[in-house]
């Protein structure tokens, strides 16, 4: 079947998933700057992901303030700003494209395909997006924090299709299986493809195991080009 659009996931697909050890280190650094109990801060921050992902916090500063409110702490605004910059720097580093991401997107565009993105993320990602190489290669990025809904809710897939001007049945969806994204894509009529690079850590807790997916699979982004050309 010939597709007219390819929609990609972001983390674990176009960029590597960040390590939990690295992420925890960042949160510990934030807690140190804020002079708050580290274990409680890390736990509350992790537990606020759903709110962060649907845009309930317009900024990292707002998210930090909410966590500290739940801790019964109100530190200086200067410290909140410093902690937010640590978070922003981490997000900027996390948005480094995989080695074959840019060539793959360029090849798909050269073939005349529309390119979309659906990402569950917080407000730092759309804020940093114009700085990334992806901005000039992806026609319509949909960020959950801006859309107010996250995967696998059908509304976020339909939103991406509307913005691209295509039907779900015309779309290939490529993702690492986090957040039930592949079954979500399938439920609206897209053709989902699991990507799992050889370098990936299979212990990442939020995505499906490779053996639990019986649909199409690729081990690199470059293979997506061959898949859509069949």
227, 212, 48, 30: CA torsion to nearest 10: -80
SS3 category, 141:
strand
165, 168, 172, 176: CA torsion to nearest 10: 110
Contact 4, 114 (CB under 8 A): yes
Q: Which of 196, 185, 192, 190 minimizes the C-alpha distance to 221?
A: 196
Q: What tens-digit pLDDT sequence spans the chain (230 residues)? A: 578 999 999 999 999 988 888 899 999 999 999 999 999 999 999 999 999 999 999 999 999 999 999 999 988 899 999 999 999 999 999 999 999 999 999 999 999 999 999 999 999 999 999 999 999 999 999 999 999 999 999 999 999 999 999 999 999 999 999 989 999 999 999 999 999 887 665 555 555 555 678 899 999 999 999 999 87
């Amino acid at each position: 079947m010939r597709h007219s659009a390819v929609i990609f996931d972001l983390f674990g697909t176009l960029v590597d998933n960040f390590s939990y050890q690295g992420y925890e280190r960042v949160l510990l650094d934030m807690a140190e700057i804020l002079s708050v109990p580290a274990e409680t801060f890390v736990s509350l921050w992790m537990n606020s992901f759903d709110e962060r992902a649907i845009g309930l916090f317009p900024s990292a500063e707002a998210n930090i303030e909410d966590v500290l409110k739940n801790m019964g702490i109100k530190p200086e605004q200067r410290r909140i700003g410093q902690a937010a910059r640590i978070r922003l720097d981490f997000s900027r580093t996390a948005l480094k494209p995989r080695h074959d991401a840019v060539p793959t997107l360029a090849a798909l565009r050269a073939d005349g395909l529309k390119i979309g993105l659906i990402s569950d993320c917080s407000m730092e990602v759309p804020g940093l997006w114009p700085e990334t190489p992806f901005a000039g290669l992806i026609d319509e990025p949909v960020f959950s924090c801006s859309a107010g809904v996250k995967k696998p809710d059908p509304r976020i897939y339909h939103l991406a299709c509307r913005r691209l001007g295509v039907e779900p049945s015309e779309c290939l969806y490529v993702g690492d299986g986090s957040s039930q994204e592949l079954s979500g894509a399938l439920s609206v009529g897209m053709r989902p493809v699991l990507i799992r690079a050889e370098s990936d850590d299979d212990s990442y807790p939020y995505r499906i195991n490779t053996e639990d997916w019986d649909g199409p699979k690729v081990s690199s982004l470059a293979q997506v080009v061959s898949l859509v050309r069949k």
